[in-house]
């Protein structure tokens, strides 16, 4: 199919229809509600089965596999725009040091260990498998569909066309298993008394089940910061985001000319250009007219379409070709994150260890939204302060994430995978040792003695 603007419009219209159907299913089917399956994931799965690899009834264009790498740039462009908080590493480390260090160790170790598995072990077990295969597990698990698309695009530029579908498959497995297993872990934690704010998970507020918020509980999406007579407030915020994205692509084209042998992730550049744009807005005293809530909604919208297109565009033939190493690595990845929840998080967090750990579990198997979903089950009104701590730490973690995802493909392709994997693992170990040195090791983070029974049903009664 020749690509025209109308084809791109059709693709987004079809995905919008799938999101609409998925939302209806989420609001009506109890099983989907029980495991908090996101509408975007459900839409992607429907799109996959109605697409060319199964029933072949949806007229998607051949370009849908490229949308995720574009939408991840949009998402990263929203991370700093509208941020009015003055942050420093010193203040962050003082207030949320263990959150930052344990979270950083989680991601760095996942990349390190699976790079080593991909470079040293997989080639011995599977003839002809790429050394880059292993790094796609953390790209999909701890990175999500956007990072998998970005890293897949980098490997594609380096000559491996199968990488994107493999990465998207890992991301889909991680997202589904992260939510399902996460709910199971929460039930175990609640029964054993590990949770601080709930004791039962058999009743939930209705809006968490269906995803439909009752009128009395609705909140504003943001504020109108500019007059519609000059420019619509939503147009204004989308304009800022797309300016940052456009600058990122422009810079990337320039870097290709200067460094033709290197591949730079556009989404990482979008993060940088958004910081520069925020500085320009502050210079002209316009930063006060950017509403962070609206910018966040733009990024969340991009994420919904990103996940939908990412799942719908998976090449099933490639998945079938590599199904054994995909299953093996996925199992190892899940064992690692469960171990991290009940061993590392339990010992290295000084308070609300289960809540902090389950957020990292969700983040390490899917996307930030997965972590928030699981955290909200254990902390329905976000009373623990865990979400704020992770939000603060994420400002610095996102830069670390960008560097890891940017540099890892180049290290592996250039024969430095073993060195990179070892260095990553040592850095992760250093983060844990520093956390232990500064904040201590918790030896009695076991059953919580509560002063009163608090259930999710109580939070639903407002």
Write down the pLDDT at residue 460.
Answer: 39
Write down the pLDDT at residue 391.
Answer: 65
| pTM, to two decimals | 0.76
Write down the pLDDT at residue 452.
Answer: 40
List, as one string, the DSSP characters of 178-193.
HHHHHHHHHHHHHHHT
Write down the pLDDT at residue 382.
Answer: 64
Give the burial class of 343: count Cβ atoms within 10 A of its Cβ; 0-12 exposed, 13-18 middle, 19 or more buried. Answer: exposed
Q: Tokens 């000059």 sit at which residue?
A: 230
Write down the pLDDT at residue 199.
Answer: 67
Write down the pLDDT at residue 386.
Answer: 78
In total, the chain counts a number of residues equal to: 462
Q: Tell whether 32 is covered by a domain.
A: no
| Two structure tokens written together for 293 | 């809530």
Q: How many domains does the chain have?
A: 1
Q: Tell whether 62 is covered by a domain.
A: no
CB 290 within 8 A of CB 82: yes
Residue 304 Cα to chain centre, angstroms: 11
Q: In the chain, which stretches have pLDDT less than 70?
A: 1-3, 85-96, 198-205, 261-263, 369, 380-382, 388, 391-392, 394-395, 444-462
Q: Tell whether 413 is covered by a domain.
A: yes
Q: Tell whether 447 is covered by a domain.
A: yes
| Residue-range definition of the domain harbouring residue 156 | 67-211+223-460
Write down the pLDDT at residue 2.
Answer: 55
Write down the pLDDT at residue 32.
Answer: 85
Q: Tell whether 435 is covered by a domain.
A: yes
Going by C-alpha positions, the residue among 75, 382, 20, 334 that lies closest to residue 179 is: 334
Q: Tell whether 281 is covered by a domain.
A: yes
Q: Tell whether 9 is covered by a domain.
A: no
CB 303 within 8 A of CB 44: no
* C-alpha torsion angle, residues 115, 106, 103, 264 (rounded to 10): 10
Q: Tell whether 17 is covered by a domain.
A: no
């Amino acid at each position: 199919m020749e690509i025209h603007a109308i084809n791109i419009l059709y693709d987004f219209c079809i995905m919008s229809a799938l999101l609409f159907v998925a939302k209806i299913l989420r609001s009506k089917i109890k099983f989907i509600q029980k495991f908090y399956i996101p509408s975007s994931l459900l839409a992607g799965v429907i799109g996959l089965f109605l697409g060319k690899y199964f029933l072949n009834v949806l007229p998607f264009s051949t370009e849908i596999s490229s949308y995720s790498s574009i939408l991840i740039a949009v998402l990263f462009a929203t991370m700093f725009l509208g941020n009015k908080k003055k942050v420093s590493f010193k203040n962050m480390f003082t207030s949320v040091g263990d959150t930052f260090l344990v979270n950083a160790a989680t991601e760095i170790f996942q990349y390190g260990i699976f790079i080593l598995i991909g470079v040293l072990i997989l080639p011995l077990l599977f003839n002809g498998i790429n050394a880059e295969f292993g790094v796609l597990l953390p790209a999909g698990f701890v990175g999500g569909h956007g990072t998998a698309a970005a890293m897949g695009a980098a490997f594609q530029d380096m000559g491996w066309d199968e990488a994107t579908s493999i990465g998207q498959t890992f991301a889909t497995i991680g997202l589904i298993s992260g939510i399902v297993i996460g709910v199971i872990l929460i039930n175990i934690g609640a029964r054993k008394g590990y949770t601080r704010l709930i004791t039962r998970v058999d009743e939930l507020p209705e809006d968490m089940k269906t995803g439909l918020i009752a009128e009395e509980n609705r909140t504003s999406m943001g504020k109108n910061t500019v007059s519609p007579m000059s420019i619509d407030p939503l147009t204004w915020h989308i304009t800022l985001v797309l300016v940052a994205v456009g600058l990122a692509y422009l810079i990337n084209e320039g870097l290709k000319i200067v460094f033709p042998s290197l591949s730079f992730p556009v989404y990482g550049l979008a993060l940088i250009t958004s910081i520069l744009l925020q500085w320009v807005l502050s210079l002209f005293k316009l930063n006060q007219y950017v509403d962070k809530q609206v910018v966040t909604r733009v990024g969340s919208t991009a994420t919904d379409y990103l996940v939908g297109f990412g799942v719908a565009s998976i090449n099933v033939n490639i998945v079938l070709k590599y199904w054994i190493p995909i299953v093996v690595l996925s199992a190892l990845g899940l064992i690692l994150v469960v171990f991290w929840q009940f061993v590392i998080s339990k010992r290295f967090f000084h308070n609300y260890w289960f809540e902090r750990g389950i957020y990292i579990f969700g983040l390490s198997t899917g996307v930030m939204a997965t972590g928030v979903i699981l955290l909200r089950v254990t902390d329905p009104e976000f009373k623990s302060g865990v979400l704020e701590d992770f939000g603060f730490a994420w400002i610095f973690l996102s830069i670390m994430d960008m560097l890891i995802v940017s540099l890892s493909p180049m290290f592996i392709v250039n024969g430095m995978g073993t060195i990179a994997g070892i260095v990553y693992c040592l850095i992760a170990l250093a983060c844990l040792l520093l956390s232990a040195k500064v904040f201590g090791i918790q030896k009695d983070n076991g059953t919580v003695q509560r002063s009163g029974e608090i259930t999710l049903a109580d939070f639903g009664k407002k």
